[in-house]
Structure 1
Amino acid sequence: GPTREAWSEAADLSAQIHIRYVDRKYSSILGVAPRMYDDIWVAGKVMYKLEPVIEDSGELIIYAPHISEVSYTHGKIIDRVGYHTRDYFLAQMERFEGVPRGILAHSTHVKGGGTYENGVEKPRVNVVLATGIPEERCRKINLGYRDPSTVNLDLWKNREHEGCLFVPRAGETLYRVKGESYET
């Protein structure tokens, strides 16, 4: 058939296969990054695939004890720039003039939505790393830290009724709330 119709049908099918629809947002999410994600550059997908289902002021934990590097390719730049909301960068683009835009985009995708007003950044959610990356470095790049050895995965399971979501193999499937509209 015509190209546009074929693409539209493919998009509809993809929405059924690659998106998991849930009934509500959650105050806490623990996303377990698969071992195939070897740095936060890739494991950041845990955040942006789950961001649509986390409440404002909620906490999203990227659990990946096997990850010990922010980015094998761009780590030094990310150490300098950190993770911030889009508005943080837009308000002071001259400060980040020499930073590749792909790195800034990655930073905003992992940090998520939020505001930057009067010199104060207010992220919509708190992103926490429970990885092999030291606490000092997590704080330096503007992300939260949790010692992965203190996370009991079993205590996270089957607690959706409490507002807690456990996602094994996080980052592979997009999550959305049923009935909510999303900008494209």
Structure 2
Amino acid sequence: MRRLLLTLPLAILPLAVAHAADEHDHEHGSLGAHEHGVGRLDAALDGKTLALELQSPAMNLVGFEHATTSDADKAKVAAARALLEQPLALFNLPKAAGCVVENQELESPLFADTPDADDDHDKDAKDEHHHDHSEIHAHYQFTCATPDALKTLDLANIFNSFPATQKIQVQLIGPSGQQGVDVTAKAAALKF
């Protein structure tokens, strides 16, 4: 497990460089990392440890990206969070693998219980633009008793739960090596 945690940053380094380039492109008007309908998933299986990191524009998961002001918005955020807090169901991990959640963390400005402390910055158009592009990040770590039973990673429940998600760009590191693939609702599973 330590080996995975130490090697994962090195394995994902090319992705970080590409992401930084995407962010730079996004700032200058071309399509970048924050594209509505598109999420990203980094997955790594090392021994009995499965690590998943899902990143998505909030628009894909809750239908908006602004700070919650109405009860309806708050309910949408709470519903999305409840789904994200059940990763075994969300990622449809096979029961035969015996995976248990060791750690999970959800991050988004939409999950804050209090309004953004920088609200007075909203007057500035640059900050307004920044606030209009909220993302949701979910980090999960599982321990799987029988990792050989993890033959595929099925993302169908993500597409079913969050229908505004049209595509997930996946980077997968597993026993067969590293692969990158775009997954859609019509082809929602990939092999480890």
Q: What is the TM-score normalised by the length of structure 2?
A: 0.25
Q: What is the TM-score normalised by the length of structure 1?
A: 0.25
Higher RCO (Cα < 8 Å, 6 or more apart) = 1
More strand by share: 2
